[in-house]
Structure 1
Amino acid sequence: MKNIKFGVIGCGGRLRSLAAALNEYEEVTLKGVWDPSHGNAEQLLKHCNKDGEGIIYNSYEDILNDDEIEWVMIGSPNAFHAEQIIASFKAGKHVFSEKPIALSIEELLAIKEAHKASNKLFATGFTLRYATIYREAKKILESKVLGDIVSVNGSENVLPDHGSYIMKNWRRLKELSGPHILEKCVHDMDLLNWLIDSVPTHISAFGGNKMFVPANSHLYDKHPNLFNGWDTGLVDDYEQGNDNPFLSDKTIEDNVVAIMRFANDVQVQFQATTSNAIPERRLYFSCTEGTLIVELYSGKLVYKRLGDEEITEVDLVGGGHGDGDYYIIKELMESMVDGKAPVCSGEEGIRSAIVALGIDQAREEGQMLDMRPIWEQFGVRV
């Protein structure tokens, strides 16, 4: 039986769990890792193999120079993704990269060219695309049982401990993470592109910082348990901020609202906030012949056709990210072994990042952004 060897570049918590799950399949083997923190590299190896078996390379280039390694998994802070993706393709490796794959349009264009020239497989870590609840939503929308999509209202409103986690670690710094709508909500942009089966041509957006600011620091003293629930689990902290997320220096936004018009004339509203007593990750589809609501946190998918007496409800509560963590690794393994194209490729990573960057540009400029020239650069017809 063929055994595929892979390496890991960037040994943070997310890649630690994904690499361990992948390494459980006998068809693939983790050969080694690299991280600027030796302690983090050791922890990932121990998480994957009880005896910590595996090589800790001196640089990520050493992984790329190892001819036995066919696939690399990239989980570095976002600012390093583009450089490492491009280098991996030039070294003749297949690539799995965590999201977002780049922080600028220029980087996305360079990635697209490097991928095209490499003739290698490219997978993006959009675990929600693999979640049962969203796959069911896709089937319902494609069946046209609800008619055509008219508009969508979406949201990602996370709990205080989730927002606090973001505002205390490297993700709070735009130069490392990109804007919040890219770092945190690029999953949602991918889902919108996929479920609507189009891309936005015009975007307006608003947002800034109103929650995690010094004026609200009394909330940390009042509800310390609510703002300290997440632990990175890292041996060595990377660009860690103040323990009080309200006082931590930050260059990202804690709230964003976007309005988009898609090329197929679907209208979208999307909201992202970082501290909520009632969390929600919801997509509400208003269609010509019915309504569909998908809410990830509760695992509820409900829909009703015009004329139906009852609402149809499907309970799809699953494991990590709605079972997406299981299926993304299972299907990545199948791509690695069989050579078939990943379900969620680099092209999806590129298109979702373009949307998120468009939202951030529209927010910064305070005016509606025409996305059509950008799509033309990437050869996307709108």
Structure 2
Amino acid sequence: MKEKMPEIEFVGYHDPQPAFLSKIGEDVPPFDSVEEMLRETKPDLFFVGSPNNFHLEHIKAGLAAGVRVFTEKPVVISEQETLELAALLKEHGPDRVMVGLVLRYSKHMSDLRAVLGKLGPVVSLEANEHIGPYHGAFFMRDWRRLSKLSGGFMLEKCCHDLDIYNMMTGSRPVKVASFGGKKSYLPEYAPASETKEDGIMHTKESVWNGVDDAFRSDSDIIDHQTAILQYETGASMAFHTNLNVPDEHRRFCVMGARGMIEGDFVRGYLKATLRDGSIIADHDYNDLDEAKKAAHYGADDLMVADVAAFLRGEAIELPVGIVDALEAGLVAIALDRARVSGEMVDMSETWAAFDAFGLRGST
């Protein structure tokens, strides 16, 4: 952000257990509470990067202080919190909160949006998010391993994906079902010799409320989940996630009445084919350097550029908004409810309660 907007000044932070301060500068003043920081600094932008279970509390503080908020995803961790925030957004306006659903900013999605209309109505989709053991083990060791802090894996990690499939269909799921559990990160599958220093299971560092052993932790999140969703438009999707995939990928295939689009964020391509076999888009994104690939396939850089333009008044809107994020979150929450109950979940009542706040028409 500092590179894109050199005029930015970091005026304060609140963190009871500071980490990675070098990213904003060791000389940035600390504060004992979010409220004190907002009161004393009166910032133009308040960034909420706390663990998920604190998001609502911190967003509330930002809205009460009258500042613009940028929150990490997922925005909140339950349906109750979603409705509570929806009421606040109705009062303060949804344009007061931006959200880091970074996949919407990716080249994959901007190129997909350019040709999506040529497919006719979207009929069906299949998609996945398959994560390498180095990353899956991180989830099993980090605070994200506990649903009470993260909201669960589907919400914490796959809300990006659920959001872009809402975008592709131009609608929301009405019925969902889901199956999954934990079958890989169990004691019997722990590496025979693993050390914190050289093992792939400790590649990613946990800096708060973490544990050392991914295979014997108290995690209650899943390590694999398969979901089926039916959308308001009649489109259907099959979605699969797994946290123990050595050759990871994040693929999507969108089938329309007149053609299809297939792509993969990890493997770096997007191809659109009409039903007569003609190819109308064929993109290779593998020319990115490794640092940008690691930063959400180059999308972090694109998001920051768009946010900078928006804050300067050079752009009138962003590719994704807080209402999109809350809707994707509600889908993830419903999928976990279906997984736990073993029953299909009808989301009609959920959407009726959410739509009662009238946020969709005001963004």
- Counterpart residue identity of residue 186, structure 1: C
Residue in structure 2 matched with residue 369 of structure 1 by the alignment:
345
- Counterpart residue identity of residue 256, structure 1: Q
Aligned counterpart in structure 2 of residue 284 of structure 1, from 246, 250, 253 = 253
Residue in structure 2 matched with residue 118 of structure 1 by the alignment:
92
Establish whether residue 305 from structure 1 lines up as the match of residue 269 from structure 2. Answer: no
Instruction: Give the Cα–Cα distance (whole angstroms) in 2 for the partners of residues 220 and 80 of structure 1.
Output: 36
Instruction: Give the Cα–Cα distance (whole angstroms) in 1 for the partners of residues 9 and 15 of structure 2.
Output: 18
Instruction: Give the Cα–Cα distance (whole angstroms) in 2 for the partners of residues 307 and 187 of structure 1.
Output: 32
Instruction: Give the Cα–Cα distance (whole angstroms) in 1 for the partners of residues 328 and 215 of structure 2.
Output: 29
Question: How far has the Cα of 1:227 moved from its partner?
Answer: 2.3
Structure 1 length-normalised TM:
0.86
Residue in structure 2 matched with residue 325 of structure 1 by the alignment:
300
Identity in percent: 27
Question: How far has the Cα of 1:341 moved from its partner?
Answer: 4.1
Deviations 1:333-382 (A, max 9, x none): 22323284443221111111011001011111111110011101111799
Residue in structure 2 matched with residue 105 of structure 1 by the alignment:
79
Question: How far has the Cα of 1:200 moved from its partner?
Answer: 0.1
**Is the contact between residue 168 and residue 240 of structure 1 (CA under 8 Å) also seen in structure 2?**
yes
Residue in structure 2 matched with residue 62 of structure 1 by the alignment:
36
Aligned to 2:9, the other structure's residue is in SS state: strand
- Counterpart residue identity of residue 100, structure 2: G
Instruction: Give the Cα–Cα distance (whole angstroms) in 1 for the partners of residues 226 and 253 of structure 2.
Output: 15
Question: How far has the Cα of 1:211 moved from its partner?
Answer: 0.9
Structure 1 portions without partners, runs of 5+: 1-20
Aligned to 2:250, the other structure's residue is in SS state: strand
Count matched residues: 349
Residue in structure 2 matched with residue 130 of structure 1 by the alignment:
105
Residue in structure 2 matched with residue 31 of structure 1 by the alignment:
11
Question: How far has the Cα of 1:90 moved from its partner?
Answer: 1.5
Q: Which moved more, 1:162-171 or 1:328-337?
A: 328-337
- Counterpart residue identity of residue 148, structure 1: P
- Counterpart residue identity of residue 101, structure 1: V
**Is the contact between residue 137 and residue 294 of structure 1 (CA under 8 Å) also seen in structure 2?**
no
Instruction: Give the Cα–Cα distance (whole angstroms) in 2 for the partners of residues 220 and 296 of structure 1.
Output: 33
Deviations 1:92-119 (A, max 9, x none): 1111000001111111111111122123
- Counterpart residue identity of residue 347, structure 1: V
Residue in structure 2 matched with residue 354 of structure 1 by the alignment:
330
Aligned counterpart in structure 2 of residue 239 of structure 1, from 209, 233, 239 = 209
**Is the contact between residue 122 and residue 342 of structure 1 (CA under 8 Å) also seen in structure 2?**
no
Residue in structure 2 matched with residue 213 of structure 1 by the alignment:
186
**Is the contact between residue 259 and residue 274 of structure 2 (CA under 8 Å) also seen in structure 1?**
yes
Deviations 1:48-103 (A, max 9, x none): 34xx3321111111122135312100010001111111221111111100000111
**Is the contact between residue 90 and residue 114 of structure 1 (CA under 8 Å) also seen in structure 2?**
no
**Is the contact between residue 180 and residue 339 of structure 2 (CA under 8 Å) also seen in structure 1?**
yes
Instruction: Give the Cα–Cα distance (whole angstroms) in 1 for the partners of residues 75 and 199 of structure 2.
Output: 33
Instruction: Give the Cα–Cα distance (whole angstroms) in 2 for the partners of residues 86 and 110 of structure 1.
Output: 10
Deviations 1:143-180 (A, max 9, x none): x2x22211000100111101011111101011111111
Q: Which moved more, 1:256-265 or 1:108-117?
A: 108-117
Question: How far has the Cα of 1:23 moved from its partner?
Answer: 6.2
Question: How far has the Cα of 1:228 moved from its partner?
Answer: 2.9
Residue in structure 2 matched with residue 9 of structure 1 by the alignment:
none
Instruction: Give the Cα–Cα distance (whole angstroms) in 1 for the partners of residues 242 and 193 of structure 2.
Output: 17
Deviations 1:200-246 (A, max 9, x none): 00001111111111121246659x744232234xxxx31111x2211
Question: How far has the Cα of 1:311 moved from its partner?
Answer: 8.3
Instruction: Give the Cα–Cα distance (whole angstroms) in 2 for the partners of residues 342 and 265 of structure 1.
Output: 27
Structure 2 portions without partners, runs of 5+: none
Structure 2 length-normalised TM:
0.90
**Is the contact between residue 63 and residue 96 of structure 2 (CA under 8 Å) also seen in structure 1?**
no
Alpha carbons of 1:297 and 1:220: their partners in 2 closer, same or farther (altered >3 Å)? farther
Establish whether residue 259 from structure 1 lines up as the match of residue 228 from structure 2. Answer: yes
**Is the contact between residue 22 and residue 330 of structure 1 (CA under 8 Å) also seen in structure 2?**
no
- Counterpart residue identity of residue 350, structure 1: L
Instruction: Give the Cα–Cα distance (whole angstroms) in 2 for the partners of residues 108 and 316 of structure 1.
Output: 35
- Counterpart residue identity of residue 134, structure 1: M
**Is the contact between residue 190 and residue 348 of structure 1 (CA under 8 Å) also seen in structure 2?**
yes
Aligned counterpart in structure 2 of residue 185 of structure 1, from 158, 174, 192 = 158
